[in-house]
Amino acid sequence: MKDHCRGKMIMTTNTTPSIDLNQHDDQRHAFLDSIDTLIFDCDGVLWLDHHVIPGACEALAKFRSMGKKIKFVTNNSTMTRHQFLVKIQSFGIECSIDEIYGSAYGTALYLKSIQFNKKIFMIGEAGLENELRDAGYSPIKFNTDHTVSGISNAQNIEIERDIGAVIVGMDTSLTYSKCVYAHKAITQIPGCMFIATNTDHSYPVRDGTLPGAGSIVTMIQSSTSKAPIIVGKPETLLMDVIIKNEGLDRSRTLMVGDRLNTDILFGINSGTKTLLVLTGISNKQSIIEENIIPHFILNTIADLI
């Protein structure tokens, strides 16, 4: 299952038609009995923009009272788990730090899982840096104000020769110099890994979108002709990390999300059960259009209890 982390998405097709739990009240109880752990995408599932989905808090409290494990995942690499905890709790949702898996934390866990012990060059925000530091790594400091100008200055940028990994996430302080540094490390240092926190091409904000981590990753991938190891959804690395860290049984784990091509594909690719809720981006028509078939469908997470 590792191969598709290298820049190409292998779609593990689920060909079984979705069970619409809206139509089968009687099946919800049996369905919940078959699940030990619920892994939640958040925006579009538990809240939408700045408003909690009605009944979501109560549903999660009910799952907890039934003894279910709850996990929260996010591809956003700009926030540490602590920052994400504050955000989740701001919606009145019960949560603890050890239930949160972001792509920044997932990247740090992945590095530890492979006993990575070389230098890191990072394109990313403080959220990524802090997770790496918490895991014992010290990403190379590259002055964010260090903007070169002109080809000859760019080619004179010197890199440290013992870098073992370039990690690329969302970075609002991106400069051409940083790209040159990453490009040189990946193309000039034998064995240097290229790791992407996630591949979301745009980053949703209040009034539209910004260029996302995925667009920066695409630039480095394009210039170096190297495919990255991808941590975030819909690749499986983040799920592998959660499954291993928590000792979960994939067959009794449910990925809950509102987007077919990230959340649901993430669950399908990872071998968990998947539940599409219709409170966010994808709808029933999307299933036909994208041909990504969730195991279960429900209008809202609140309807599961």
Instruction: Tell me which residues touch its own copies (CB under 8 A).
Output: 78, 125, 144-145, 147-151, 153-155, 171-176, 179-180, 183-184, 187-188, 201-203, 205-212, 214-216, 218-220, 222-225
Q: Is 303 marked as a binding-site residue?
A: no
Residue number with CB closer to its own copies (138 or 144): 144
> From the candidates 3, 43, 240, 263, which is the catalytic residue?
43
Let me know if 43 is a catalytic residue: yes
Q: Is 226 marked as a binding-site residue?
A: no
CB atoms within 10 A of CB 45: 23
Residue number with CB closer to its own copies (153 or 283): 153
CB of 74 to its own copies, least distance (A): 14
Q: Is 41 marked as a binding-site residue?
A: yes
> From the candidates 41, 171, 240, 263, which is the catalytic residue?
41
Let me know if 36 is a catalytic residue: no
Instruction: Determine if the peptide bond prior to 234 is cis (ω within 30°).
Output: yes
* Integer Cα distance of 160 and 181 in angstroms: 9
Contact 81, 206 (CB under 8 A): no
For residue 263, what are the CA distances in angstroms to 41, 268, 274, 282?
7, 9, 8, 10
CB of 73 to its own copies, least distance (A): 20
Q: Is 3 marked as a binding-site residue?
A: no
CB of 179 to its own copies, least distance (A): 5
Angle formed by the axes of helices 176-188 and 213-224, nearest 10°: 50
Residue 33: closest CA among 203, 260, 273, 266 = 273
CB of 174 to its own copies, least distance (A): 4
Contact 40, 72 (CB under 8 A): yes
Residue number with CB closer to its own copies (70 or 126): 126
Sign of the CA dihedral running 285, 288, 290, 294: positive
Residue number with CB closer to its own copies (214 or 294): 214
Contact 260, 266 (CB under 8 A): no
- Binding-site members are 41, 43, 233, 258
Q: Active-site residues: which are they?
A: 41, 43
